[in-house]
Structure 1
Amino acid sequence: MDHDTAARTTLIRSASDAGSKVFATILTRSPISRIDIARHTGLSQAAVTKAVSPLVAAGLVDAPPAAHRDGNPGRPVAPVSIIPGAMIMLGVKVNVDEIIAVATDLTTTVLAGERRPLAAHDPETVLEAIVDVVGELERQLDGRADAIAGLGVSVSGDVDSETGIVRDSALMGWTDEDFGGALQERLGRPVTLENDVHALTVGEHWFGVGVGTDSFAIVTIGRGIGSGLHLNGEVVTGAYGVSGEIGHLPLADPRHLCPCGRRGCVEAAASTGAIEAAVSAAHGRPIGIDEAVRLAHDADPAAEAAFREAATIIGTAIATLVNLTGPQVVLIGGEGVSNFDLFDETLRNAFDAHAFGAAARCPIITRPHTFQDWARGAAAAAIQALVR
């Protein structure tokens, strides 16, 4: 980290609440006028001007000369914009069999990327792999590596982002693992550890569907069934660091055993692994998800039944989520969206059947997320941690 990056990091971390609000608003909505910043933050224009000045001096924000809106006389408009390359964040998504890493600017635009397989997924092996991939990203960035301000890492499970401890990750087989602390000690850089879906939600909150939206929910389908919530202008983390875990609502048949050790979880019947297991059992041989998709498209009864069960349970879970929290929109993402035609009608029918009253008006939209998008979410979580 060079002197400029260190000074910018110190400025952001030491900012007042007003300063943090102003910087976050510019970061997510630039270019934006000081008048609109005041409107969004509830601060006076004098307070906004006071907060903007050190950001401009530090090279974090660009503020061109004020101009009158549409040439009309009156109070001038002085738009300010984030300088994306002023700092660089690294983001890493940890999967059970690989890690995906990116380097991004302050708007999470990807500047460099790397993907590495994992020979094993014990903490030490994953630590070594992340250290190695960070070194590779630094090499790709070349002279810009001095602008790296921190690292965000996302992993499935119950993650305490305050302490950097993975309390429980069934996918990784980790319990009470001080992964964030160990990684920070190994790298000598600030590390933000976050649940993978929460990190993705942070990215959508600041740079995606959440911009200009009062509330939204993300539901991810694929290897796991996850959910993230953005309510009242904030990503919900929960008093104990757990929230929105629709994958572990007990809505499925109890005969389904979940990787978490419980029975009847949504994830136990609706994840990629659950679909593979159901189709494999019906055919008496191992069948991967790609073949299961092909079989379902070819009207294979077992494959159709597996996707139908998954879609029904996910739709019911989304209705439960919407009934409880009332988001403005639900975004379905994750790698499973690439096969969403097999879920779509059944899922929406289940949602309509269980959504209460006006909650049924909540739109459900889809967007596939690549694993690089998940890594960008980890970088966004690190940016948010810096700002706050």
Structure 2
Amino acid sequence: MRSAPPAETFPAHTPAAAQIFTTVLSHGPLTRLDAARRAGLSAAAVTKAVRPLLEAGYLVETPDQEARPALGRPASLVRVDGGRALFIGVKVTAGELIGVLTDLRCRIRIARHVPVPDRATEAVLTSLAELARELLAEAEELGAPVLGLGVAISGDVDRAEGVVRYSPFLDWRDVHLAELAALTTGLPVTVDNDVRALTVAEQWFGAGAGLSDFAVVTVGAGIGCGIVVHGRVISGAHGVAGEIGHVTVDPAGPPCHCGNRGCVEAIAGDAAIIRRIRETTGLEVADSAAAAALAHQGDEGAREAYARAGEAIGRGIATVANLLGPERVIISGEGLAAYDLFAEQIREAFTAAAFGSAAQCDVQTRPLPFEEWARGAAATAIQSFITPHDQRQSR
């Protein structure tokens, strides 16, 4: 592995430069005038921000072949040179690491899966080092430098400090993962909550592109939520903004691992659904796939567990809509494999609990494989590279 992080830095550490770069990244190619309009900056500010980025090769400018100006010089288009740099993104699960090597435009070039023998920090770091080694070798073939590593992990993650405060599925507490991973891989490391990382990717390239206010809700082993308000991914003062999974929807409901009762996750997480089916049917349901199969076969207990989960998720989404008024809520996560079993209950509970015009929120589903979550981790690494720490979008 490398003994020290790369010395290369983004050539223009100003808010305007980062804003223009991300605008072109998400919506480009753009003329300078269009970039200025989208970013809300003056033409002079755009010219000043673009110049060092063009000189360093992060942006390139080409003639707009479709433009036919009556007078003056033809318009030029500015775009990000994806081959200028590479980034690694890793999604951590309890059983494996999913890693991707992306270019500067966050396009996945290579994807790899590495098993994790156990959930101990040392074992995960060993697997992470192996995965990074593989992807760095692939990067040499592509001929561009790897300038950062993003790690996405579930739970309470302090991105500013690079610390996993608590990850229930890994049983980690106060793990300084960014520091440890940097020592292990030799790369600059960004660590963030996995749903927030996915939200960054959705904001830049997915169903949230162009929206000022939206949310991503993920269903599966846990229930997560990433929030964008006025174009900024919100983490809050303590890094736990958007914890929809720990919104209480039934005070008399089942206990949650967080210490409360009746949280959305305690009713609608995979383990909660399986536990409910076991309680009501007496059957030993092995996993979520078996639970969904039982429900699809028409077992009343299994169908009741999914209906109950859908109601909890719908109430949780309504809470987000009532508080923040997003234009769109995107539902994703591995739990979408059984979405037909609780989609109706989600819609009904959301409609019943959403206040006034909040019910007009566009709720849509978007199945995303874990490679896309890893891509989100790479997006956070790109974000850290191009954005000054005190101006970062996710703070």
TM-score normalised per structure 2: 0.93
**Other-structure match for 1:202:** 200
Q: Mean Cα displacement is larger for which, 84-93 or 286-295?
A: 286-295
Looking at structure 2, the residues matched to 387 and 140 of structure 1 have their Cα atoms a distance apart, in angstroms, of: 23
Question: How far apart are 1:77 and its partner, in Å?
Answer: 2.1
1:89–1:148 Cα contact (<8 Å) kept? yes
**Other-structure match for 1:386:** 385
2:163–2:176 Cα contact (<8 Å) kept? yes
**Other-structure match for 1:339:** 338
Q: Mean Cα displacement is larger for which, 148-157 or 288-297?
A: 288-297
Amino acid at match of 1:285: E
Q: Mean Cα displacement is larger for which, 280-289 or 51-60?
A: 280-289
Question: How far apart are 1:379 and its partner, in Å?
Answer: 0.4
Question: How far apart are 1:255 and its partner, in Å?
Answer: 4.3
Question: How far apart are 1:71 and its partner, in Å?
Answer: 4.3
**Other-structure match for 2:55:** 57
Is residue 14 of structure 2 the alignment partner of residue 16 of structure 1?
yes
1:99–1:118 Cα contact (<8 Å) kept? yes
The structure 1 residue matched to 2:224, chosen from 202, 226, 229, is 226
Distance 1:335 1:145, change over 3 A: farther
Distance 1:119 1:133, change over 3 A: same
Question: How far apart are 1:195 and its partner, in Å?
Answer: 0.4
C-alpha distance after superposition, 1:215-249 (max 9, x if no partner): 11000000100000011011111111110100001
Report the 3-state secondary structure (helix = DSSP H, G, I; strand = E; otherwise coil) of the residue aligned with 1:206.
helix
Q: How many residues align?
A: 384
Looking at structure 2, the residues matched to 19 and 71 of structure 1 have their Cα atoms a distance apart, in angstroms, of: 28
Question: How far apart are 1:63 and its partner, in Å?
Answer: 0.3
The structure 2 residue matched to 1:36, chosen from 7, 26, 34, is 34
**Other-structure match for 2:250:** 252
Looking at structure 1, the residues matched to 314 and 143 of structure 2 have their Cα atoms a distance apart, in angstroms, of: 44
**Other-structure match for 2:327:** 328
C-alpha distance after superposition, 1:332-366 (max 9, x if no partner): 00011122111111110000000000111111100
Amino acid at match of 2:176: D
More helix by share: 1
C-alpha distance after superposition, 1:83-136 (max 9, x if no partner): 111111100011111111110112221111111221111111111110011111
**Other-structure match for 2:209:** 211
**Other-structure match for 1:95:** 93
Amino acid at match of 1:303: A
Distance 1:100 1:145, change over 3 A: farther
TM-score normalised per structure 1: 0.94
**Other-structure match for 1:356:** 355
Looking at structure 1, the residues matched to 155 and 60 of structure 2 have their Cα atoms a distance apart, in angstroms, of: 39
Report the 3-state secondary structure (helix = DSSP H, G, I; strand = E; otherwise coil) of the residue aligned with 1:213.
coil
Looking at structure 1, the residues matched to 161 and 356 of structure 2 have their Cα atoms a distance apart, in angstroms, of: 41
Question: How far apart are 1:146 and its partner, in Å?
Answer: 4.8
1:296–1:304 Cα contact (<8 Å) kept? yes
**Other-structure match for 1:187:** 185
Amino acid at match of 2:202: E
**Other-structure match for 1:25:** 23
Question: How far apart are 1:68 and its partner, in Å?
Answer: 7.8
**Other-structure match for 2:306:** 307
1:97–1:118 Cα contact (<8 Å) kept? yes
Q: Mean Cα displacement is larger for which, 251-260 or 234-243?
A: 251-260
Question: How far apart are 1:60 and its partner, in Å?
Answer: 1.2
